[in-house]
Structure 1
Amino acid sequence: MLLDMRYEEILNSVTRYDNFSKLEADMKKKLPYLYLKRLLDVLISVTALLMLFPLFGIIAFKIYVDDPKGKPIFRQNRVGKGGKLFKIYKFRTMYAYVSHNLPTNRREDPDAMITRYGRVLRKYSFTVLLEVDKKLYKPEYDDQLRQEFLHKFGQNTKFTIRHVDEIPRESSGKFRMIINNV
């Protein structure tokens, strides 16, 4: 029921651009804002990384103690804006022997594959702290075109940070279909 309400919220909040020239004109007006935003993103990110560096060391050590067979940092290639590949870095939350090609919610017994400390990292979304090749925060646009053409894929939204594990396994396909067709 709660999940269906979220679908309705998403569907009701959507507007579309039928005219690409209007989208282009809107973006030209926002160019100075975008440069300033990028500068602030970089400055805040560098400052935060320097301040969080000791915490990263502690997290990496705890991951290593929990499962010494693998590296504490997980690296994977992802497809980004324009089909360009980029590397994503995350703290490892699963045991080293587990294949990372299948999402956790698609596995038979996902809890058995997640380390003790990995549960804590996932609960508080600390796994994404190392994602430095992205903007600090991507607003949840109500416009599919802006989302597809103007932002890098894989960024965090309020919904994905707070509710990604609440989507039931059998509903995740329906949810993706709605998001992709909005």
Structure 2
Amino acid sequence: MKSKVGMTAAACVVFAGAMLGAAFASVPLYNLFCKVTGYGGTTQRAEAGPGKVLDRTVRVRFDANIGNGLEWSFRPVDREVEVKLGEIREIHYAVANRSGAPSAATAVFNVTPGIAGQYFNKIACFCFNEQHLAAGEKQDMAVTFFVDPAMASDPELRYVDTITLSYTFFPAEDGATVKPLAAVPATKSPL
């Protein structure tokens, strides 16, 4: 009887340990899954364009938001562009720190419809790094992207003609207070 109770207790401890380990691994595994599949509108990163451009076009709309606690303004310079599948395009966002202190923020992003995320590729983006703005500073931030020509072969996206790329800036985890980066000149942009 004692050995049955001991085995059951050991099994419960092993099960609880496995569940705890799975809980800690779930976020990184989910993020990896989203990056690989584009699930939930997660975009892809690319080093270069696909090398071929199709005649099929899609309209790409741009959205900009600011999270609570960040005194920045943020907007796309162009609200939308039309691109051919495979065509590399650069667009810009205007951002300004409206506070009286330097601050830092990180941009999170997604694409709608979500399934299009696996075909939306960024070559360069301000969202790849934390952004720092001095008090009152304005900057022009660029995104270089393309929509993979493979999208034309996806039956679930055959009628999709519009993709929306949405960004939200959130204060950096350190409370958004940083020293200004005097060595990096800012590009002036009207806001």
Specify if TM > 0.5: no
Select the structure that is richer in strand.
Answer: 2
Give me the TM-score of the superposition, normalised by structure 1.
Answer: 0.24
Give me the TM-score of the superposition, normalised by structure 2.
Answer: 0.24
The structure that has the greater radius of gyration is 2
Select the structure that is richer in helix.
Answer: 1
